[in-house]
A = this chain, B = another copy of it.
Amino acid sequence: MLENKTRTELSSLGEFGLIRHLTSSIELKHTSSLKGVGDDAAVIDKGDGNVLLVSTDMLLEGVHFDLAYVPLKHLGYKAAAVNISDICAMNGTAKQMLVSFGASSRFSLEAIEELYEGIYLACRKYNVDVVGGDTSSSKTGLTISITVIGEAKKENVVYRSGAQEKDLLCVSGDLGSAYLGLLLLEREKQVFVAHPGAQPDLEGNDYILERQLKPDPRTDIIQLFAELGIKPTSMIDISDGLASEIMHLCTQSEKGCTIYDEKLPIDPSSSDKAHEFNLDPTTCMLNGGEDYELLFTIAMSDYEKIKNSLDISVIGHITDKASGVNLVTRDGTQHPITAQGWNAFK
């Protein structure tokens, strides 16, 4: 039934090409549908000056997670956290969540309880109500689908498309560590496969492991914006890697940008770890992904307000579209950035 026509592989379009292909013909008919596909969350008008922000993520075993080294409780926590992060990326506050899963008979009730413990832990920490979901068996493996609902004042919503020329490009926290945590877990898994008796050697790597296994959405940065009276001109969360997210901001804002290698924030221990893996720390920051930090732009006039915030780094500025998306390396040369972020279809 599926074979008697032209056959185009899904992987040939890539995740974002596929989404564009499948959704480009959509015309929103309800006036309450303010923003559909193409940002971190859909925006639905509540009609009272506030909007609802809705985002959904599907996580599949063997594609998004490997239970050989990810404890189910951490998986649950992370699944909830990354959805809450999507609401942060719109400058909103997560309020409700729906949790669905399909699990094969390999999973016991106790295993699913651990998964939910992690979800509830994140929801308690970030004050989110679990209000629904769906449960099912599956033929193989574990699938999790989470939908999060957030709220924001309509005037405060930040889209990917609002960056203006000369705006400062900023990032919260530091980058690259989650990816290094993944590499470490993958390495120890390979050791274990080769030598089943071996104990994993994870000592002294708490930071990168925590960044990979238990990421925290930056609700504190959203609160800081409110306190400082800043509304970013554009924003996105860093799930697929800095390079990929910068491309999204610039493409949707129809702008270019220049970022500076020396300004990119990395934890010193992660930088050391990158060298241990024979990797350029900059590559880890640009293409690593899963840091769930916020990438955003602010008007230059807001610089004074953020300059003392130790947890925000100004990494570059927005340029015109024709100038492209560029990285200035430490030797002062400029290189175009190409997104090599994680692709769910590779």
Q: Give Cα distance in the complex from A36 to B128, angstroms.
A: 12
> Which residues of chain B have C-beta atoms less than 8 A from A308's C-beta?
none
Measured in the bound complex, the distance between the Cα atoms of B133 and A107 in whole Å is: 26
Residues of B within 8 A of A149 (CB): 44, 52, 54
CB within 8 Å of B: which of A1-15? 1-2, 5-13, 15
Residue with the greatest number of chain B CB neighbours at <10 A, chosen from A71, A127, A132: A132
Task: Please report the C-alpha to C-alpha distance between residue A127 and residue B29 in the assembled complex, in whole angstroms.
Answer: 7
- Whether A223 sits at the interface, judged by CB under 8 Å, is no
Question: Are B344 and A136 interface neighbours, CB within 8 A?
Answer: yes
Contacts of A346 in B (CB 8 A): 137
**A67 with B129, Cβ < 8 A, contacts A112-B10, A139-B141 known:** no
The smallest beta-carbon distance between A93 and chain B, in angstroms, is 10
Q: How far is the CA of A140 from the CA of B60 in the complex (A)?
A: 10
Contacts of A344 in B (CB 8 A): 135-137
Contacting residue for A9 out of B26, B36, B50, B105, CB 8 A? B105
Q: B135 touching A15 by the CB < 8 A rule?
A: yes
**Is A130 positioned at the interface, with any CB of B under 8 Å from its CB?**
yes
Q: Which of B58, B101, B131, B140 contacts A36 (CB 8 A)?
A: B131
Stretch at the interface among A17-25, A170-178, A213-221, A269-277: A17-25
Q: Is the CB of B111 within 8 A of A2?
A: yes
A98 and B46: CB pair below 8 A?
no
Q: Of the candidates B11, B29, B108, B131, which one forms a contact with A105 in the assembled complex, judged by CB atoms under 8 Å apart?
A: B11
How far is it, in angstroms, between the C-alpha of A28 and the C-alpha of B25 when the chains are bound?
A: 38
Given known A-B contacts A10-B107, A102-B143, A54 and B96 have beta carbons under 8 A apart: yes
* Across-interface contacts of A64 in B (CB, < 8 A): 136
Contact at A98–B54, with CB atoms within 8 Å?
yes
Checking B15, B61, B101 against A139 with a beta-carbon cut-off of 8 angstroms, the contacting residue is B61
A331 at the interface (CB under 8 A from B): no
Residue of B with least CB distance to A138: B60
Tell me which of B28, B110, B132 contacts A55 (CB under 8 A): B132
Confirm or deny: A300 has a beta carbon within 8 angstroms of a beta carbon on chain B: no
- Whether B136 pairs with A30 at a CB distance below 8 angstroms is no
Smallest distance from the beta carbon of A248 to chain B beta carbons, Å? 15
Chain B residue nearest to A37 in the complex (CB):
B132
Contact partners of A106 in chain B: CB under 8 A: 2
For the complex, give the distance between the alpha carbons of A41 and B134 in Å: 11
B143 touches A345 (CB 8 A): no
Which residue from B111, B131, B132, B136 sits with its C-beta under 8 Å from A15? B136
Most central of A42, A145, A346 by chain B CB within 10 Å: A145
Interface residues of A (CB under 8 A from B): 1-2, 5-13, 15, 18-19, 21-23, 25-26, 28-30, 32-33, 35-37, 41-42, 44, 46-48, 50, 52, 54-58, 60-64, 67, 71-72, 95-96, 98, 100-103, 105-113, 116, 120, 127, 129-141, 143, 145, 147, 149, 151, 344-346
7 more A-B contacts (CB under 8 A) besides A54-B96, A135-B345?
A22-B113, A30-B96, A42-B132, A56-B133, A56-B147, A137-B344, A139-B141
